[in-house]
Amino acid sequence: MTLPFYKYQGTGNDFVIIDNRQLGLKREDVADIRQLCDRRFGIGADGLIYLQEKEGYDFEMVYYNSDGRESTMCGNGGRCIVRFAHDLGLGDEFSFLAVDGPHVGRVLPGGIVSIQMKDVAHTSHRGDHYVLDTGSPHYVKFVQDIQSYPVAKNGNTIRYSDTYRAEGINVNFVEELSRGHIYVRTYERGVEDETYSCGTGVVASAISYFYEKDPGETMIRVKTLGGDLSVKFDLDGPRFTDIWLTGPAVQVFRGETTI
């Protein structure tokens, strides 16, 4: 079949997005999804997203990693699908359902998109790193000289360690640039390499930074390889609530392919 598609990116984290409201594509088409995401033999992307109808919501987000498997929440993918819905003429603010539950997304002036992430009730500090779930599981470690740090090598070692091999984990390396400003680089499971940005990883890193450095503010600026984001949250005892991930999300191109 001939398949219309759209390519979006949010701080370099790129996605093929398909309007599946009328197409009826099935969630089991793993080989086709892997093919579409292949950077040499397909369109090329970190993941693929379906926008589809869901009763009680403006739409449902169904997300697949580039390995073709349906995955946990993707923060930058969430921002991109909100921008996509806006570009389809569906509005400026949306309530949508993802694999980790309901979200709210807003398109702001200047191509900036903000989405509300799930609350984080528990952050585990394990020696030299943190482990927490921000819609996807994350390992966060603070390092020095992050620009020359071997992210892919060390991230792969942690992701395939005995502790995390079975379920997998996303691995973030973080350096403080200045008070309230961090640099995050992420190795993503499912992509199995470093990506230019990871939304849930940025949120996990900002929360871990708040624990690690106590910057005295609840809005953290974040630099990634693909650009700048921000994370804002409220505190309710040990819980992080009303978490917002904000940054640019833009359409790169659109086209048709055959599957």
Q: Write out the catalytic residue numbers.
A: 74, 198
Q: How many CB atoms lie within 10 A of CB 133?
A: 19
Residue 28 identity: E
How many helices (H) does the chain have, and how many strands (E)? 4, 17
Coil, helix or strand at residue 152: helix
Are 254 and 2 in contact by the 8 Å Cβ rule? The answer is no
Instruction: Quote the strand ranges of the chain, DSSP E.
Output: 2-10, 13-19, 47-52, 59-65, 93-98, 101-108, 112-117, 123-126, 129-133, 137-142, 170-178, 181-188, 193-195, 219-224, 227-236, 239-248, 250-258
Are 180 and 217 in contact by the 8 Å Cβ rule? The answer is yes
Give the up-direction half-sphere exposure of residue 52: CA atoms within 13 A in the CB hemisphere. 13
Distance CA(244)–CA(231), nearest Å, equals 6
